[in-house]
Chain A
């Protein structure tokens, strides 16, 4: 993409604050100078806007309240992504609240984490992973 289209994209997608107070996030993410987006997807339209049309790659964490490993994976994802200086965002999808989105992306076991870039599914992993595995997954998506 050339510079003019990059600037065009930025004009249509204003930066969100580091912690978006419109969406309830249980864990507050500590950020330094760079902005890091972490948000809960509300519905299909929200997914379209904030994941598919996102200018930066988005890691989507499909989870559920009843899923034990999901509760362990969540903080790990947040910690790793918060260190990427805004190069990637984190979207959380509760599969019970957003069944259609989960069905569309063929989510079966939980947690399922899918990396999106330019509106397309790039990579995916299933289940709780160690930090270094998560880190290389995130790096692969960014680059």
Chain B
């Protein structure tokens, strides 16, 4: 296998025109490539625990190059991550890498590296307290950008959000990562305990798990659609404010109840882990698709969502304002990100 891959690498370098540039022979290139493989082989086990790379004595690598090595080793392909995002990082998934490789055109070796990286990071930070991004950064010395991406991957893997459905294919990893970040910031246990003073009391200060209590509480929001008066009032508040401001006002007005039911029902269902997994499917089905079919411009969606969440504050009979804000604040951000073609 090694030689097979070696020949690939050599072929790749030959294609880069390096032989012509340097006047080297194929044999030289071959041996040079082998050397790199050997060096890499020795480096790789250090890359599995990047802090080791920093302290090891075998290679004298300048810090900038160390950082580059780590960054490149932990880099992943958009196409690949979309395939495994939200899946359990288990042996079962690993077996599917063959198919993923065929489907994405990414070599199996690369798929394995990326998968192993995801899994390694997941294993290390899964049980850790404190900020997910910080933990990843500290234990893998990744850049801020990459740490955030890994945080999203870990968060998705832990909550097993469904991302593979056909409906969701139009969404990029960036879209999901954006949502993940918002959810980590607002919906997890770590989000509540903003100022952890006593470390012992922060046993549950975890970024990877959604706040169960919060999810339970979300049921209370159901009243917004169950109580017909409240729903009507909510609608009239939104319509009054937005009249004349939306190009698709009539569509909005016609669809208000459906949309509101959709959004509130999503919230109410989040107590079941099965429904948590389908969060994104539901959001797309219940909100994104209806709006898209009516050709809502993004700006109108924004105006609507802003008004939709703000108007609740004027509903006198509704007692769960804070809960609503925690839910809707995040959801609004997510929906705006998810709303595109």
Indicate whether A and B interact.
Answer: no
B residues apposed to A, CB below 8 Å: none
